[in-house]
């Protein structure tokens, strides 16, 4: 086989335009020495898919989006050590390479792991990108562990990342987890994930004070724009924020009086810069698969679209663009 089916963006068009994502035929990717060639069975759609599509402009070559994937290894590069043809895998990919919205994808083995045996490909595809983001936030940026105490406020707890972060914090750290949720559906979902208490981001300061009168030690933020003054109010002195969004022109000065630390987390940093510890992402996904198979981490899939085509992916992007999705939207074969 020399060509494959894929879904690509050719320009930044509104999601209602049938040209926003189109079905194309492309050459099968060439493998680098440590690459796996994966037959993609299911992908989830993340806000990054929508952000990249919206910021592309006219493309000379079709641009294949998509990062989360669950699939089967069909070929391996000459220096691959950890995988063989037929392995069932999952991964969140690399922002700088062609994505998972394709029949076949080349991906570096260091950011791949065997996927959970207890989940379908669609249920698995919901998890990798958000799990890596949540894991790196909790353990690399906040440096939490089972012996940690105090409060962690998780804004956007019903969103893709928050839905995993709440579960991992409850399973693998000692902190009290306050889940931020607005809609009734979000509140019920976040309670079901095990949050110890709920707060409403529409009235953040008052609702945090109701459950943590002295403030919180840590705040996870997927929604920072316009919120820094409220963060300064609800955090204790020497508190910490981990933020994962892209708030343009952010002013952090309100955090200075309390000496509050601000950490950025970007799940793509390791693969984008080929950091020496990039294989850590494969290891984390392996641990996450074991947690899933042990019944300690559950899939966050809420919407499954059985149409792995441009139409199915446009519908997934449309849902994400509402900004109201709970859990994850997956597109599968």
Ligand X SMILES: NC(=O)c1ccc[n+]([C@@H]2O[C@H](COP(=O)([O-])OP(=O)(O)OC[C@H]3O[C@@H](n4cnc5c(N)ncnc54)[C@H](OP(=O)(O)O)[C@@H]3O)[C@@H](O)[C@H]2O)c1
197 forms beta bridges with 178
Burial (0-12, 13-18, 19+ Cβ within 10 Å), 74: middle
Burial (0-12, 13-18, 19+ Cβ within 10 Å), 249: exposed
The region of 14-22, 27-35, 154-162, 231-239 touching ligand X under the rule CB under 6 A is 154-162
Determine how β-strand 69-76 pairs with β-strand 22-27.
unpaired
The region of 4-12, 75-83, 146-154, 324-332 touching ligand X under the rule CB under 6 A is 324-332
Is 318 a residue that touches ligand X (CB under 6 A)?
Answer: no
Binding mask 64-103 for ligand X (x = CB under 6 A): ----------------------------------------
Is 160 a residue that touches ligand X (CB under 6 A)?
Answer: yes
Restricted to residues 210-229, the positions that interact with ligand X (CB under 6 A) are 222-223
Instruction: Quote the least distance from Cβ 102 to ligand X, whole Å.
Output: 21
Concatenated DSSP letters for 171-201? HH--SEEEEE--SHHHHHHHHHTT-SEEE-G
Is 48 a residue that touches ligand X (CB under 6 A)?
Answer: yes
Decide: helix, strand or coil at residue 166. Answer: helix
Q: Between 83 and 268, whose beta carbon lies closer to ligand X?
A: 268
Is 183 a residue that touches ligand X (CB under 6 A)?
Answer: yes
Instruction: Quote the least distance from Cβ 131 to ligand X, whole Å.
Output: 10
Restricted to residues 258-317, the positions that interact with ligand X (CB under 6 A) are 265-267
Burial (0-12, 13-18, 19+ Cβ within 10 Å), 135: buried
Q: State the Cα–Cα distance between residues 219 and 306, nearest whole angstrom.
A: 36
Binding site for ligand X (CB under 6 A): 46-48, 129, 133, 155-156, 158-162, 180-183, 186, 201, 222-223, 244-245, 265-267, 323-326
């Amino acid at each position: 086989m020399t060509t494959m089916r894929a879904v690509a963006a050719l320009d930044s068009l509104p999601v209602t335009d049938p040209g926003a994502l189109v079905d194309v035929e492309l050459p099968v990717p060439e493998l680098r020495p440590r690459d796996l060639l994966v037959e993609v069975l299911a992908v989830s759609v993340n806000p990054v898919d929508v952000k990249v599509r919206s910021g592309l402009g006219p493309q000379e070559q079709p641009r294949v989006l998509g990062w989360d994937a669950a699939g089967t290894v069909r070929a391996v590069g000459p220096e691959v050590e950890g995988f063989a043809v037929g392995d069932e895998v999952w991964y969140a990919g690399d922002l700088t390479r062609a994505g998972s919205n394709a029949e076949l994808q080349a991906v570096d083995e260091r950011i791949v792991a065997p996927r959970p045996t207890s989940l379908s490909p669609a249920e698995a595809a919901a998890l990798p990108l958000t799990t890596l983001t949540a894991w790196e936030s909790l353990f690399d940026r906040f440096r939490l562990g089972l012996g940690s105490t105090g409060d962690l406020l998780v804004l956007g707890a019903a969103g893709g990342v928050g839905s995993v972060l709440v579960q991992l914090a409850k399973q693998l750290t000692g902190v009290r987890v306050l889940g931020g949720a607005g809609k009734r559906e979000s509140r019920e979902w976040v309670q079901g994930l095990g949050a110890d208490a709920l707060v409403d981001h529409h009235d953040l300061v008052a609702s945090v004070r109701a459950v943590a009168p002295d403030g919180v030690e840590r705040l996870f933020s997927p929604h920072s724009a316009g919120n820094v003054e409220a963060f300064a109010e609800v955090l204790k002195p020497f508190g910490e924020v981990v933020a994962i969004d892209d708030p343009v022109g952010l002013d952090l000065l309100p955090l200075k009086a309390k000496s509050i630390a601000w950490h950025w987390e970007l799940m793509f940093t390791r693969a984008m810069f080929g950091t020496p510890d990039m294989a850590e992402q494969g290891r984390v996904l392996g641990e996450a698969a074991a947690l899933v198979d042990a019944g300690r981490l559950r899939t966050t899939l809420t919407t499954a679209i059985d149409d792995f085509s441009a139409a199915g992916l446009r519908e997934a992007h449309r849902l994400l663009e509402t900004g109201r999705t709970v859990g994850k939207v997956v597109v599968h074969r």
